[in-house]
Every structure is written in C-alpha cells, then in structure tokens.
Amino acid sequence: MQIGPHKLRNNLVVAPMAGVTDRPFRQLCKRLGAGMAVSEMVASNPRLRETQKSQRRMDHEGEVDPISVQIAGSEPAMMAEAARHNVDKGAQIIDINMGCPAKKVCNVAAGSALLRDEELVLRILDAVVGAVSVPVTLKIRTGWDRDSRNAVRVAQIAQSAGITALAVHGRTRACAFTGEVEYDTIAEVKARVSIPVLANGDIDSPEKAKRVLDHTGADAVMIGRAAQGRPWIFREITHYLETGEKLAPPEISEIHRVLMGHLHDLYTFYGEQPGVQIARKHISWYTKELAGSGAFRQALNQLETAPEQMAAVETFLARLAQHNERLTYREEGLAA
C-alpha cells in the first residue's frame, strides 16, 4: 500500500487511540509487523500546543518512517496551522480526525461531529491539504447516527479535496464502539472512490482481517483495541495473509520480553511516576488472558514505583514461564 511517496511494507495500520498510541506503543507495533502507526490526536488549538501532553505527542525521535500525526479541530485555518506546525515537528503524513466519538471532542464540534456539516468538512480538508506538502489522510465513521449515514458522500468530498487515503470505522458516532460493524458500508465507500481505503472496526484476529479485506475490497485494515496488550497481532495477521496458516500464540517467555521492554520504554519516555501510572493499563491488557491474572492485576495497581512494578511482572510471568505456557485466545480472537 502506498500513501503519497510512502510505500508501506504491508497493509496493516495501527489506529490512532488517545492515551495508547504514544511513541513507545507505535514503535513496538512497527517492530512487530505494523506497516504504519498513527499518533494520538493532537489538538489544533495553539493554546494547547505547549502543554506537556501535546509536546510528548509531537515527539517522534527515533520513530520508524512514515510518521503519521493525527490532528483534531473544527476551524479550517486553525487546522491548517496545526498541520504546518506538526510537519515542522517531523510529521510525514497528516491525518485528520473526523471519527472520534468521544463527547469531549464532539461537544466542541470536532471529531465525528464534523460529519453533520459536509460544507465544513470540505473547508477543513481544502485548508489542510493546501497548507502542507505532505500527504493528508482522513479518518471518518459511517455517519452521525443510523438516520444520517453519509460516509460515501464524505469519501467523495475527501477525494475531490486531495485526501490521499481514507480510513473508515464501520459504525456511526451514535454507536460508539458497540453493535455490528457496517462492513457493507465500507465496501460501498471503496467502490465509489479510487483513493486507498482502510477498513476499521472489530478486526481482532488474522481470520477476521482476511474476511474484512475480502468482503470490503479495502486496501488495508486499521487495528485499534485488538492490539492493546497484543502488539504481535500484526505479525500474526501478516503470516496468515501470506500463508493461510495461523502462527502459534507467543510463549510466555516472549510476552515477558516484549512487556519488560515496553515498560522500560514507558518509564524512559514519561519519567518514572507518570510511566508507572500509564503502564498499569498496558500490563493489564498483556496479562488479562493469563491464569491468575485477576489477583495479580489487583495487587499491581497498588504499586507506586517502577522497580516494584517490574519486579511484580517478573515474578508473575516467570512462574508461568516455568511451565512453558502459551497465551490462548478465544476462537474469534480478543474482544475488539
């Protein structure tokens, strides 16, 4: 798959997720097989640009190309300036957020709220595409609610504005992350535009990835929640698409190595105390399918220092590794 001048090594992309797709997570997913990873959304409001959170989200030091940064907002001029600012900070692709269903985003007429105003959609896309020389991509939902699905029209608007690739989460804003994914709508979008289309929503196993690609005709799949605590899902999907065979789940010893490396990167990136707090959710995701993890995770949340946290993980996984155990998945994969 190609986005502008960037030829991706495969058609597997990490979805932008606030509080998750920071630089350590993006780098890890790329090492384990993702062709591209989109950053957490960066607010377009310049008053928020100098906050510590925003500065971290614009930190791409050492990150493998291409560097894709998602921006969010509702003012065309402000979005254009945010795009220029992020390109100056190293972004090689700008992604526009018109898919986030969170109330705090929609309440300021950003994210998926923009889908209610197609004229504003065009003004924002024109402003951003005209502001930068790098490719601009777009992420949308199928509409605001079931009575106002307009993904096809928005996709056509995006293509005419010069958007180089389009990711579609197959639910409306009103559906959030529940209910059936509208893969038929994604297929219709793909049939009505010529730019690359990425299918997103509940893709949580190699088999599901293949079914979605076959059904929608999409050029790529975008994976979000299924990669939380399971960054090797990209390696698993790649192997299945290439061979038709499933890889064995990772042994506990590999989970141990991956998780300990991820924790080290989090402490380095955020500093010890913030890193410990952020690491809790990642440890929970990594271990939730493992025997005895309930009591372990409850105890883990009481620990306050990095050495304590790492020692607890070491002890828990070392005990399981003695039996050379492997992670086991439910038949249809993890919940998306």
Please provide the DSSP assignment of 40-64 as one string: PPEE--GGGTTSHHHHHHT--TTPP
| Structure-token pair, residue 179 | 């209910």
| Gap between the Cα atoms of 164 and 190, Å rounded | 13
> How far is C-alpha 195 from the geometric centre of its chain's CA atoms?
20
Q: Where are the alpha helices (DSSP H) in the chain?
A: 23-31, 52-57, 76-88, 103-106, 118-131, 151-161, 183-192, 206-216, 233-243, 252-270, 272-287, 293-300, 306-321
Write out the two tokens for 261: 């490396």
Separation between Cα atoms, residue 185 and residue 274, nearest integer Å: 41
Reading the block at residue 141, the tokens are 């939902």
Q: How many CA atoms lie within 13 A of 249 on its CB side?
A: 17
Question: In terms of C-beta distances under 8 Å and separation of at least 24 residues, what long-range contacts does 280-288 make, across chains too?
Answer: 281/19, 282/25, 282/228, 282/229, 283/259, 283/309, 283/313, 284/229, 285/228, 285/229, 285/230, 286/229, 286/230, 286/255, 286/258, 286/259, 287/229, 287/316, 287/317, 288/229
Choosing from 29, 100, 106, 175, the catalytic residue is 100
Residues 6+ apart with CB under 8 A from 158: 121, 125, 138, 140, 166, 193, 195
100 given a catalytic annotation: yes
Q: How far apart are CA 73 and CA 49, in angstroms?
A: 13
The single-letter code of the amino acid at 16 is P
CA 224 to centroid of chain Cα atoms: 4
Give the containing element (helix H, strand E) for 142.
none
Active site residues: 100
